Structure formats: C-alpha cells, structure tokens
Amino acid sequence: MVQAVLAVDQGTTNSKAALVTAAGHVLATASAPVGLSTPRPGWVEQDATDLWQSVLTAITTCLTTASSSSAAVEVVAVALSTQRESVVGWDRSGEPVGPVLGWQDVRTAEWCAQLPSSVDDLVRRRTGLRVDAMFSAPKMRWLLDRSDAYVGTVDAWLIHRLTGCQEHLTEAGNASRTLLYDTLELDWSTELLEAFNVPLAALPDVRPSNAGFGVTKDVPGLADGIPIVAVLADSHAAMYGQGCTQAGMAKATYGTGSSVMTPVDGFVPSGCTLAWLTDRPMYALEGNIVSSGAALAWTADLLGLPNVGALTALAATVPSAEGVVLVPAFAGLGAPHWDREARAALTGMSSSTTRAHIARAAVDAVAHQICDITDTIPGTLSSLRADGGATVSALLMQTQADLLGHPVEAADIPEISALGVAELAWTTLGETTGWAGKRSFRTFEPEPDAGDRGRRRAEWAQAVASVRVRPA
C-alpha cells in the first residue's frame, strides 16, 4: 500500500487533484473545468455548487486513475490550495446564497472609490494591501447586503464541504487577502470589520496554514475521517513549492492573472501579503496582474485560434511584434499601476501588421506586466522562478528572460500549487521534504541585447501611460 496526500488545487478555470507521496512523487493527477460567467461588464461569477462538483470530479478521477495504474493507495491526508479573494456566501444549512463573486469581479469598484481615504490608510497599515474591488471585503459586503449568510473565501467553502458542513474555518494566508485580517496581529481586525461593516459572526475562524482543518465527511470516493492538514492560497502554494524563501528570490505564477512574490523579513505596509503561517509568519511582497493567461485566451479567440497553444505557435512565426503593443487592461490595471478604470488597447499597428504580430504582442504583454512588478522589488533579483500553465511556452519564457535581463527558471511541473501544498502537508506529518532542491528547471538565459530591452520596455511604458485614466 502506497501512502499519499491528496492535494486539491481549486483555480479560476479548473479544479485539479494530485496524489503525492512523501518523496514528492506524483502518482496520479486529474483536472475538471469550472464555469465562469460575466453577466454584466465587470461582473465575474462562478457557481458555488459547480465549483464543489468540479473538485469532486477531479478527486474521483484522480483516485480512479491511481487505482488503475499503481499499487493500492492509502490517502493519509488532504491538502488544499485555492484561488484567492473570490467570495462565497452560504446559509446555515450549507447551501450557497448567490453566486461566487470572482476575484476579477469589479462590481464594487464605485463603492470602493467612495470609501474615505482613512479606510485606505487603515487597510494599508493593517493588511499591507490597498482598497480595491479585487479583494474580498467589498464582495462580502455586497453579498451580506442581499442575504444573511456565512461568507468566506474559496478555501473556507471547500473546507466546509469536505468536512460534511461541520467546519467553518479559513487559512491565514487566504484571510490576509480579504482586507479584514490584521496581517501583523494575525487575527481578524475589529477596526477593519467595522470599516467594511462585515460582522465577525459571518466569518470563519482563522487557522495557521498547517493547523488542521477538520476531517473528511461524506465526500464521495473518500473515506470519512481523513485529516485536512494543510491549506494555502494558490499563489502562495506555488511560492512554497518553488522553495522561494530567501531574499533575492522571486517567483511568478502565470495563471488567469499572474502573481509575482518575493519573500521579505517582516510585515511591510505596502504590497505585503502573508504567504503562510506555520510556526512563524512568512511575509512576501506581491504584485498581482489582473489579466495574463486571460489576455492570451482573449487574443486567441479574437484571432479565431482554437487555444493559447495555437496563439504562441503563431507568435513564434515572427521575430518580434514589430512595434505592436497590447495593454490587456480589460478590467483595468492591477499592480503596480492600480488603475481599475483604464481599458485595454492595441497600439502601434501599421498596414504591415499581421495576426502573428498581434499574437506576439499578447505574449509580450504577459512578460512586460511581470517586469513592471519585478522593477519595483528592492535589491537585486538573482533569478525568477516561473510556474503556471503558460510556462510550457518556451517563447513566453524566453521573452520573459529577455525583457527581464535575468535568467528565468521554469519549474519542470508547470502546475506547482498542488505540489506546494502537498509538501506542506507531508512536512506537517513529520516528513523531511525539501522537494524544490531536488527539482529540475528549464533555464532561459536573457539575450544580451540591453538596447533592445530598453526600447521595448519604453514602448510598453508609453502604451500603458496612454490607457491610464487615473494619474500614475
């Protein structure tokens, strides 16, 4: 009998499951899509029941795959990594009330803009973040205005369901993305709860990332009583999995949006997030990009291509974008520009512009946005560790290294969040792990043309400036 941790990674576009041994070997994986709807401009919703069903499908498919391809597997623990900031509301019987308000949803942008500046000051001091419609608190307020519900981030919803509706718990790193959690005091902040008018009773209790989150109950395919030992936010789980814990290291996760994180010694009141909380808090500076994989998917669709793979293949047929720049501010600009009223633009086209140049501009846009954040990281960056679905594109990774002027190390397993949280689970169970040290990376060295890099970065900066609505 092989012992394994069942790691679930619930993301914006799909739910993944992996069975991972104490040595970090992946016995089986499975994935199930999750629907997403945009009923109005700026509204991005998911269905909480569908989301849970997709997790169940991923789990059962993964277990079935394992049973047909390897020795019998004993699931010793469950580990959970989840999309962040998105909010679910559910009633006392565990039934969802209303849609999941996705992290990309900006329906509360106007409400946020009307908050007094004292709230933004408080948010910065207590959370290291800033008031923005992406974060959970305004979404919770929106749901609570419509029903008397429990509210929580996706980790809390899944813990609730995995435990047969027994537990109402959330993990500290996920809580740190709500705007309600005091990231220094490591507890819900009474002042912030008051500022956003969210009652404490509606919120789950916060636990450290490896504190234990109850045991499984009534989960099809899984025995009752399996402990949920580790929970991390997905981007944070990738940082854990990448072994990105020393100053000078940074990781970029290329998902629907992108997240760049670099560890810092302690809390700083600007761009800071709680990566995880174990025996001590691990803080990180983070920049969130609203649209990266989403920009590639949008461009593929626009050009009538079947998928992002076809887009990057088309982009690779031309040596450059020939001055074409795509600024994918479809829902405004996130870090470090923070202008949610800005809108997307495609600039620099001439009569010789082809579909391939537009495809190339989309790839460039993903890399430029990462550079905009790494440019703000203090100190010297030795390299960037990359993960997430889009890292399979050698063109994107090479473009990233070229624009960065530093090597990029792409993880051998692109979807690393599940492995990251599985590693934390095994560590919690007393195993010695250190998997990142044993992992191999595909390293992309920058082309040494600094002049070209400067010109392309300047073109990008000019295009970004042209879409801004709020002054920089």
Task: Point out which residues bind ligand G3P (CB under 6 A).
Answer: 11-12, 83-85, 103, 234-235, 255-257, 288
| Choice between 406 and 420, CB closer to ligand G3P | 420
CB 258 within 8 A of CB 285: no
The residue assigned the tokens 């919770």 is 140
Provide, rounded to whole angstroms, the least separation between the CB of residue 235 and ligand G3P.
5
Query: Please, which residues have CB within 8 angstroms of residue 379's CB and are 6 or more apart in sequence?
Result: 247, 248
Tell me the C-alpha distance between 192 and 310, whole Å. 46
User: Residue 417 CB, nearest distance to ligand G3P (Å)?
Assistant: 7
Please, what is the minimum distance in Å from the beta carbon of residue 307 to ligand G3P? Answer: 17
Phi and psi, residue 195, nearest 5°: -60, -35
263-293 exposure pattern, b = at least 16 Cβ within 10 A, e = fewer: bbeebebebbbbbbbbeebbbbbbbbbbbbb
In DSSP notation, 166-202 reads ---EEEHHHHTTTT-EETTTTEE-HHHHHHHT--GGG
306, 297 Cβ separation under 8 angstroms:
no
How many C-beta neighbours within 10 Å does residue 195 have? Answer: 21
Alpha-carbon span 373 to 390, nearest angstrom: 18
Least distance to ligand G3P, CB of residue 86, Å: 7
The residues with which 244 forms a beta bridge, in sequence order, are: none
Minimum gap (Å) between residue 254 Cβ and ligand G3P: 9
Residue placing its CB nearer to ligand G3P in the complex, 84 or 456: 84
Q: Report the helix count and the strand count for the chain, using DSSP H and E.
A: 15, 22
Strands (E), 191-314: 205-207, 228-233, 249-254, 258-264, 272-277, 281-289
* Residue 234 or 364 having the CB closest to ligand G3P: 234
Rank residues 85 and 372 by Cβ distance to ligand G3P and give the closer one: 85
Cα separation, 3 vs 138, in Å, equals 42
Minimum distance from CB of 143 to ligand G3P (Å)? Answer: 18
Sequence-ordered list of residues with C-beta below 8 angstroms from that of 314, at least 6 positions apart, any chain: 303, 305, 355, 356, 359
CB contact set of 86 (below 8 Å; sequence gap of 6+): 12, 46, 100, 101, 102, 103, 105, 136, 139, 153, 154
Output the residue with the shortest Cβ distance to ligand G3P.
Answer: 255
**Considering beta carbons, is residue 290 or 404 the nearer one to ligand G3P?**
290
Nearer to ligand G3P, 392 or 429 (CB): 392
Q: What SS3 class is residue 231?
A: strand
Smallest separation (angstroms) from ligand G3P to the CB of 356 = 27
C-beta of 14 vs 354, nearer to ligand G3P: 14
Task: Report the residue number, 21 or 235, with the smaller CB distance to ligand G3P.
Answer: 235
Contacts of 104 (CB under 8 A, 6+ apart): 12, 44, 134, 256, 257, 290, 294, 331
Cβ proximity to ligand G3P: between 82 and 299 the closer is 82
Q: Give whichever of 103 and 240 is closer to ligand G3P, judged by the CB atom.
A: 103
Name the minimum Å distance from CB 275 to ligand G3P: 13
Shortest Cβ distance from residue 31 to ligand G3P (Å)? 12
d(CA 63, CA 17): 9
Residue whose CB is less far from ligand G3P, 12 or 209? 12
Give the shortest CB-40-to-ligand G3P separation in angstroms.
21
Give me the least distance between CB of 212 and ligand G3P, in Å please.
23
At a CB cut-off of 8 Å and minimum separation 6, what does 49 contact?
96
